[in-house]
Structure 1
Amino acid sequence: MKTLTCAVTAALITLTSTQVIAEMQTQTIEYKVGNQAFTGYLAWDDENDAPRPGVLVVHEWWGHNDFAREQAEKLAAAGYTAFALDMYGSGKLADHPDNAKKFMEEATKDSEQIKERFTAAMDILQKHQSVDPEKIAAQGYCFGGAVVLNMARLGVDLDGVVSYHGALASPIKAEPGQVKAKVQVYTGGADKMVPSTQVAGLVEEMQDAGVDLTLVSFPGVMHSFTNPGADQFAEKYGMPVAYNEEAAARSWKGTLQFYREIFGE
């Protein structure tokens, strides 16, 4: 067992398990932010020894689950090192929308707390031996999409952020000269949780702040369109969500192109 200490965040990290899949390495990482324990998941391909860009993956409001880990593995297969972080705390994985809402509200009760949790995970990623610490991006889904947008608004030193079906309105506003990241947003035209007023508001906000924004809206597409499990959530809980294979594929293709551009690949 190997223990590391991150000076910037004072996060205690414990590498708890490693699995090898062909040339892909995956690692479950337990770490602390303050006095609270968190569990993340790191994925990278060790076939190439050269440092490569790192990408943070922020989970949906359900918590750090298999879907978030699968996105990290997809990024690793594409040549990046990815860290699926944990915004709620170890063991906080919702099995009902009421629990998800409770976890989300606790995590987002103030912007400094959520920034601390995000930057602690970012520090872990930057210090991994496979990562070029100067090339970091973040992508998030649903709740996670809102998180990465807010990290950009707060001026966190990221090359780019990608939001998939995330909330676009926020009490945190982008200010001219503050946002370092380029921003890419994918949203559904039929997303009842992210109405057109939020889309228009984000465009105006980012335009006024001089942010490099690319926004794609998929007509007729609902919330959670990247997650194949969305249809099950809709049936079980009566939620207005649905998986859309075409939108998921197009947004993923666009994301990889975005990363190639911002990382100069």
Structure 2
Amino acid sequence: MKVLVPVKRVIDYNVKVRVKADGTGVDLANVKMSMNPFDEIAVEEAIRLKEKGQADEIVAVSIGVKQAQETLRTALAMGADRAILIVAADDIHQDIEPLAVAKLLKAVIDEEQPGLVLAGKQAIDNDMNATGQMLAALLGWAQGTFASGLEIEGENAVVTREVDGGLQTIKVKMPAIVTVDLRLNEPRYASLPNIMKAKKKPLDEKTPADYGIDVTPRLTVVRTAEPRERQAGIKVGSVDELIAKLKDEAGVL
């Protein structure tokens, strides 16, 4: 079975995000970038499936700027077999929207014919949580989202999902789309020998035009602003005082 893993280049989760002075977006100048943490978990799960003998090949795919090569090399160093980079933007500030990403991934899947697509449930930069679901709709495949557990049983995938009320276990017929959550696994660090080997692994470079997909943005960012600072809490002396403040000051009662 071939496993396809989409990965995204995002601001490193340890970096404090800065908003541009003119409010047009996030400042990415000289900012450390890395693989989206949820995608890293997806890569790790694909590697574990291969180690169990349930996967034969792992293909990592990234869509964005040319610098995303670094992200794909990280996936290759972790254990992916080959990579595909679709250069869909020249400006690092341009984010490719989920529908365009899903259409490009569908085109790649039509060529590669994987048995399973493992993706992060969302990217930590835009938090849209939409690409996996859109991709499943375009392909007509089964999907399991927010996966905290995954087992392959023959032609089916048993997915444990994190839902509001607890955990839900579903069985989906493959090929399928599975989007992963934080508690699925702990991603490994790429060793130095594997980092060196990754430089020799195949990385194909494509463009949206190669697949006949239009990635023109359909959304316009009106304004970007820092979140308001949280105000300090206060102590109340009694339940009556608490109720009065909730009613008169907070206006929630």
Q: TM-score, normalised by structure 2?
A: 0.30
* Higher Cα radius of gyration: 2
Larger RCO of the pair (alpha carbons < 8 Å, separation 6+): 2
Q: TM-score, normalised by structure 1?
A: 0.29
